[in-house]
Structures are given as C-alpha cells and as structure tokens.
Chain A
Amino acid sequence: MAIEPIERTTVVRFGRRAMGSPLRLITVGATDREAAAAWAAVDTEIEAAEQALSRHRETSDLTRANRAAGAAWVDVDQRLRRALATADRANRQTAGRFDARVLADLERLGSVGVPQAGALVMSTAAGPAKRPVLRPGERWLSVEERRPRVRLAVPVDLGGIGKGLALRWSWRALRRATRAGIGAMLEAGGDIVVGGPSPDGGRWSVGIEDPRGLRDHVAVIAVAAGAVATSSVIVNRWWAPDGRLVHHLIDPATGEPGGSGLLAVTVLGPDPAWAEVWSKTLFLAGRHRVADVARSRGLAAWWVSTDGETGMTPAARVLTIWEAP
C-alpha cells in the first residue's frame, strides 16, 4: 500500500529594518530557494527605492532634486521621476488635499531629516512657510522622460507615498521571483501588502492598531489581496520651536498639522501607494468629513477619533471580522 505524502504548507519569514521601520516578508508555499529569491528581490528594490525617494539620506536623488529646486535640472533614478509624477497626480485626484509641497512647513515646524528646502523656504515663526510663488501656467514639477531628469519649482516630501511606492515596486519584484499561487505578505513601516493564501490557507487577518494603546487592535479585517495603509499621529509627533506639540500630517491649505478630531485612518485598496494617499487625505478631512469623503470615493476605510470612537465605511464593514467592544 502506497503511503500518501503529507502535504505541508511551508511558511518562510524574513525581516530587517528599512525606511526607519521593520521590513517583514512572509511567504507561504514557496520553496526555500524561491523564498530566498523573493526576499533578495524585495531587499534590492526597497534599498533602491529608499536611495531614490528618502529625504533622510544626504545622497538620495530626492535630496539632490530638492536642493536644486527652482534652479536646475537634476539627473535622477526612474523611481524618483515616477514618484514625483504619482504625487502630482495624487494632488489632482484629491483636489489638493494631498500635496507633497508641504515640506517647507514640515521643516518650519522642526521635522527631523536631512535639510532639503535650503534658501527657497523663508521660515517664519508662525503660519505657513513662505513658498516661492509660481508664475501663471508654471508647474511645480517638470520631467524629462528619456534621460530621466526632473526639475522642481519647490522642494517636496514623498514620505508616505514614497513608502507606498517602495512597497508597490517590491511587491512586483517579489511576484516576478515566485510562482503563481504562492502566498505572501510584505510589511514596511505599518503598511501591508498581501496576496495568495495565508499560512492558515485562507485570507490574511490584518489588525488595525489601537492608536490610544488601550488594546492591541480596534478591529481585525480579512484581506484576500490588496494593500493596507494607516495614517496616524501617535508616533511621528514632536515639539515645534514655538512650543506646540505637532505631527507630520500637514494640511496644505493651512500649512499646519491637520486632521482635527482624528487619531488614525486606515484604508484598504489594491495599491499601497494609493492606499497611503487616501489614508492621508481622509485624515486631513477631519472627523466631521472623513465619513462623507470616504463614502463618496467608495473607499474601504476605518478611523479612530480622539474620543476613542471607531468608524468605518460600508465597504470596510463587510471586511471587518472583529471590532473591539
């Protein structure tokens, strides 16, 4: 009598730090060699994206482009050109709610990082930073496709969308390195991309962090495939030079930290970069408008207000398998 081989699900885990946060990869059903190849592809792509998009590196392409803003064209990696084009599109798609040009205000408020804005930003003690005024018809971004090179009219910050794009590109590299049907979860800085079967064989369970720290999660959602991004003010906060406690989610309309009445917003979507864009945009809408904006866009979104209330859209509710009582 032949003995049936026991089918085992192979789960391989990798991790390191990247972009100032833990970078984790879980593969399900891949051979050790496949998993190692996937991790190598992710590792390479994350490093390349960070070198192109980070404003925390002295030698990054973004730092060079920001310091030449308003003056010269800069040869850059294709990733930065694509990221700037995506940021420009996000600005239009969100009717200006998402704006990479808030870097001047971040630096005025004392955000850490390699100085970028230089002489272009005239810092003031209070109120929005004085940005260079664009002439009629002038765009903040000029790109040249072939070379590639870019010219910025003003310095920009690609923090959240940059992380989302790094995940997008890493996920594609991972998929190219593995067979179809392999399950995987890629996590960087709190943003998550999943696809294929989970270690349990079904959908991936993703917890939404409780921003007040009273418990681990405010909700748990089941995701078959997609990206989850959270914009929250519980981590990246600091004391501004004028003594105020400020955070990194700047409302471009005021130049000041936005999102009145909210602690965190989480969005699930097909792409990590756009999940980042919408989580930030919804956060800046504030507690009174977050539901309307999210529903009007048909987004699956969860939010936690400063008084501890958890809200979600109808599209989010059908994905929620547990909510904190």
Chain B
Amino acid sequence: MAAGPRRPIHLGIAVGISASVYAASLAAVTGLQSAQSAQLATDRAPLADAAARLDASNALLDSRLTAARGAFNASAAAFTNVAGDLGGFESRLRSLAGTVAAIHGSAVALPAAGAIPRVSSAGSVTAPPVHATTTASGKLP
C-alpha cells in the first residue's frame, strides 16, 4: 500500500485552537459588554423617570396655557363688546346731563316755598265729636 501525502495535522490543530481561543474571547467580551449595558441601564433609570415626570408637567402646563389663552380671548372679546357699549353710555350721559341742567333751571325758577292746603273734614270749621282729648302732660301736683 502506498502511503498518501502527509497532511499537516498540526495546522489543523492550530487553527482549531485559534478558533477556540477566539470564540472564548468573543464570548468573554460579549458577556462583559452585556454586564456594562445592564449597569448603564440601571444607572440611567432615575434620569428616565425624571424625564418622564418633566414631560408630564410640560403637558399639563401646556394644557393650562391653552385654557388661559382661551379665557383671555373670551375676555378680550367681552372687553371689546363693553368698549363698544361705552360709547352708547357716554352719549346717554350727555343727554342726561342736558336733562338735569334743564330741571335745575326749572327748579331755580320755582318759588322758595309753597303753601300746602290744610286737611279738613269736608271743609268743616268745627271739630267732630271726640271720645277723649290729649292734653298737657306734667300735671302732677
């Protein structure tokens, strides 16, 4: 039997060993990276919570600002209406001032005193009969 060409077994062993070492190294590096990623995630958790709360606050503030804007717009509209009415009030006040001035003029023209007619019972000059008469107090002896 003829002997075949001699194969370089050591090369195969070397390649296998190298591949094994590489695989082991890769596994170690991967494990290390995974642990670091987990630690990083743990460290960042409070910051993420704070960011979430800030986001919620911002949303609330935004909604309030929206409501305030709405109220301001309504007030502005009402003020615009009132401002429109003021013109009418001013013109009516001018008219009232004119009326008051006219009344004052009439009042000045009136006499200082006026005679009020006396009360009488059907014009009788004699008093009707009475059941009693109220007289001076202080008649104590």
Chain A interface residues (CB < 8 Å from chain B):
19-21, 24, 26, 54, 56, 112-113, 159-160, 163, 185, 187, 189-192, 194, 198-199, 204-209, 211, 215-217, 220, 228-236, 248-249, 264, 266, 276, 279-280, 317, 320-325
Would B134 and A229 count as touching, CB distance under 8 A?
A: yes
Instruction: Give A113 to B125 CA distance when docked, in angstroms.
Output: 41
Would A24 and B132 count as touching, CB distance under 8 A?
A: yes
Q: Which of A160, A190, A248, A317 contacts B134 (CB 8 A)?
A: A190
With known contacts A190-B136, A323-B119, A205–B130 Cβ distance under 8 A: yes
Instruction: Give A82 to B120 CA distance when docked, in angstroms.
Output: 42
With known contacts A207-B127, A220-B127, A323-B119, A56–B137 Cβ distance under 8 A: no
Chain B interface residues (CB < 8 Å from chain A):
118-121, 124-125, 127-141
Would A206 and B136 count as touching, CB distance under 8 A?
A: no
Q: Which residues of B contact A21 (CB under 8 A)?
A: 139-140
Chain B binding site: helix, strand, loop or mixed by DSSP? loop
Instruction: Give A320 to B128 CA distance when docked, in angstroms.
Output: 12
List 14 A-B pairs, Cβ < 8 Å: A20-B141, A24-B132, A187-B132, A189-B137, A190-B133, A190-B139, A204-B132, A205-B130, A209-B135, A220-B130, A230-B135, A234-B136, A317-B119, A320-B119
Residue of A nearest to B119 (CB): A323
Q: How far is the CB of B87 from chain A (nearest CB, A)?
A: 43
Instruction: Give A24 to B136 CA distance when docked, in angstroms.
Output: 16
Residue of A nearest to B121 (CB): A322
Residue of A nearest to B139 (CB): A21
Residue of B nearest to A231 (CB): B137
Q: Which residues of A contact B141 (CB under 8 A)?
A: 20, 56, 112
Q: How far is the CB of A226 from chain B (nearest CB, A)?
A: 12
Would A322 and B138 count as touching, CB distance under 8 A?
A: no
Instruction: Give A190 to B140 CA distance when docked, in angstroms.
Output: 11
With known contacts A159-B140, A231-B138, A207–B130 Cβ distance under 8 A: yes
Residue of B nearest to A318 (CB): B119
Having A208-B134, A217-B127, A322-B128, one finds 4 other A-B pairs with CB under 8 Å, namely A206-B134, A228-B134, A235-B138, A324-B127
Q: Which residues of A contact B120 (CB under 8 A)?
A: 322-323, 325
Q: Which residues of B contact A209 (CB under 8 A)?
A: 133-136
Would B133 and A217 count as touching, CB distance under 8 A?
A: yes
Instruction: Give A216 to B133 CA distance when docked, in angstroms.
Output: 9
Q: Which residues of A contact B140 (CB under 8 A)?
A: 19-21, 54, 56, 113, 159, 163, 189, 236
Residue of B nearest to A317 (CB): B119
Instruction: Give A248 to B137 CA distance when docked, in angstroms.
Output: 10
Instruction: Give A24 to B127 CA distance when docked, in angstroms.
Output: 22
Q: Which residues of A contact B125 (CB under 8 A)?
A: 325
Q: How far is the CB of A42 from chain B (nearest CB, A)?
A: 15
